[in-house]
Structure 1
Amino acid sequence: MVALRIRNEAMELYFAYGANLNKRECERWFLSQGLSNPLRKSCGRGRLPDMELCFDDDGTGDGRGTVNLHFRRGQWVEGQLFELSPFGWEVLNRKESGDGRCCSPTCVHVFRDTGEVVEAVVYALVTEGRPHFVRPAEAYTSVILEGLDAFGLSRHQLDAAKKGHVPPLMIDTVFVYGTLMQGQGNHGLLAEGASVESITRATVRADMVDLGGYPAAFRTENSQIQGELIRVRRLEQVLRRLDGLEGFTGYHLDSLYHRVLALVDVETGLACDAWIYLLAGSWKNYPVIASGDWRGHRRALNAMKHCTNSG
């Protein structure tokens, strides 16, 4: 599937998703400590996969909820990436660990709008299940909303989380172009439990290679591969099955594929985001499928085989 470009920033990137998005409030806090604000060099939007915003107890005992993260397959959190110097990390760590807070720096993988997957640090108390909701102060959520608006980030997830509601998933679509397509051998994993809502022909900018019994692709700007945009019900359950099929266990090279976001061009003329499974390793030792069409490629191979056997 699409070869992943992982860029190692030597842990220089910080992913902000809460009150640290608010420049005015950050400046005020650092000034009160006699420190310079380290969050001055923004380097674009980031999307943190398989995480969702929530409000829970941060360990200070003040009874007010603090924005946090918990695991939710198929969801993502929008935030902003910042480059920090070594001294900047010391200053930020002082802010995030002060006042009895239990937040700790955690290494995560974040999607950039360019398609890159980069390593970054996030401060959170990441939990597997949905934590107990603790209502935040209105002034606190207003600070976060102001920061989201300043960077043009979505506020829908925060609006739901601050009320203790379960935010809707950002998308409910998967792009497939090999054995998961309609009529192919693994399509049943998508269709199981009447999960498929609609199937539309679509394309993604990439090139395709033949790995034997299934295709793989690598991201390019000048070519496209053909496939299907599938809208599903119960996305979390569907992705759990597909993660198992594709050998996705995280954004490292021990995974066979990585699940990332791609901009999909639909035959109706629209474009939308969808989950797609991308090859984690190198594609260079495999034959290129110039047409970008897995079905057509298999038909051509079968025709050649038939001619050879007939001859």
Structure 2
Amino acid sequence: MTQNRLYFGYGSNLDWNDWVRHCDENNASPDGLEEREIAWLVGHHLKFHYHSRRRGGGAADVVPINEYHATPGALFDVDECAWSTLVAKEGAPSYYKEKNVLVIGLDGQLHEAVTFVVCDDKIEPDFQRPTDVYHALIHNGLHGRGLPTNGLDMAMQRRFDTPTINHLFVYGTLMSGQSRFTQLEPYVRSQQQASVQGHLHDLGDYPGMKLGDGVVHGQLMELENVEACLERMDAIEGFLGFGRNDSLFDRTIVQVRTEQGIAWAWTYVYAGEVVDDSIIEHGRWF
């Protein structure tokens, strides 16, 4: 039996009706493409530098950048039949091509997936403005999933220097008043109390979080100079890069609950093994 592919969608495929229309126009079944979860493509940003004649304007692409950036979208399970239809919809390999990528899922775990990026010879040197209809497909697809649209806004403004996520959730020695807050403080614009789903473990001199069904209490920091901040925090937390298995802590993306609602933030989860009796039941490090 052929194994389904894990596909990351970030553009028009966030709109189910757009997929169904393509299938209807090509006598194909829309079945076989099943959304699994919302997700983030690490190390890429959204860009409009390809003109699609079929769309009548610019079409989306994701472009590599440093690992302090991430692009929101969705993960899909795709069977072999639907994959053939999807490849045709993307115009691969003439207009878009397949690319293996690393994606953070809703559970904060890293997944290997495939997405489509614009072929090098189809890239234009200038901004290619998408139509209002195409822009709405992406905007509504993100908004309807509770994902931020600021990355789309920045792509429309041709701004690529600011990461989409500018918050950091901390729960241990990086919290205000704790021993290492002085390392984080220069980058903090504002802070508030917050929580995420997970379990807090006592590792001795510091805690470590594992994502799960419990509650971990901490602080949500709004950052300025995000790239410099994360570079510094990566060094402190022993994060060596996505896809590595020798980091002390892994950096990931989580949903954070605050009094103002839900936010998306970077955080660090412990990469080592833990035992149940190390769990801090009340989920607080103080």
TM-score scaled by length of structure 2: 0.76
Equivalences for 1:141-220 in 2 at 5 Å?
A: 142-149=133-140, 152-153=144-145, 154-166=148-160, 169-191=163-185, 194-220=186-212
* Structure number with higher strand proportion: 2
Partner of residue 103, structure 2? 109
Aligned residue identity for 2:191: I
Answer yes or no: is 1:81 the counterpart of 2:75.
Answer: yes
The offset of 1:79, in angstroms, is 1.7
CA distance in 2, matches of 1:23, 1:289: 42
Counterpart AA for 2:184 = L
Q: What count of residue pairs does the alignment treat as equivalent?
A: 275
* Residue type of the alignment partner of 1:41: E
Gaps of 5+ in 1: 1-9, 296-311
Amino acid at match of 2:97: C
Equivalence for 2:229: 238
Larger radius of gyration: 1
For the aligned residue pairs, the C-alpha RMSD in angstroms reads: 3.6
> Normalized against structure 1, the TM-score is what?
0.71
Q: Name the SS for the 1:294 alignment partner.
A: coil
Asked if 1:46 is matched to 2:39, the reply is yes
Structure 2 unmatched runs, 5+: none
2:14 maps to which of 1, 17, 21: 21
Larger RCO (CA within 8 A; separation ≥ 6): 1
Structure 2 counterpart SS, 1:219? strand
Q: Percent identity?
A: 26
User: 1:251 deviation in Å?
Assistant: 4.0
Conserved in 2, the CA contact under 8 Å of 1:263 and 1:273? yes
In structure 1, distance between residues paired with 2:69 and 2:173: 24
Alpha-carbon distance between aligned partners in 2 of 1:75 and 1:176, rounded to the nearest angstrom: 19
Partner of 1:225 in structure 2?
216
Residue 30 of structure 1, CA deviation: 4.8
Letter in 1 for 2:205: G
Relative to structure 2, which stretch is displaced further, 64-73 or 246-255? 64-73
Q: CA deviation at 1:121?
A: 1.7
Match of 1:120 among 99, 113, 119: 113
Matched, 1:96 2:90: yes
The 8 Å contact of residues 178 and 227 in structure 1, kept in 2 or not, is answered as: yes
Deviations 1:59-103 (A, max 9, x none): 99xxx7542113254443222322211333344334435373252
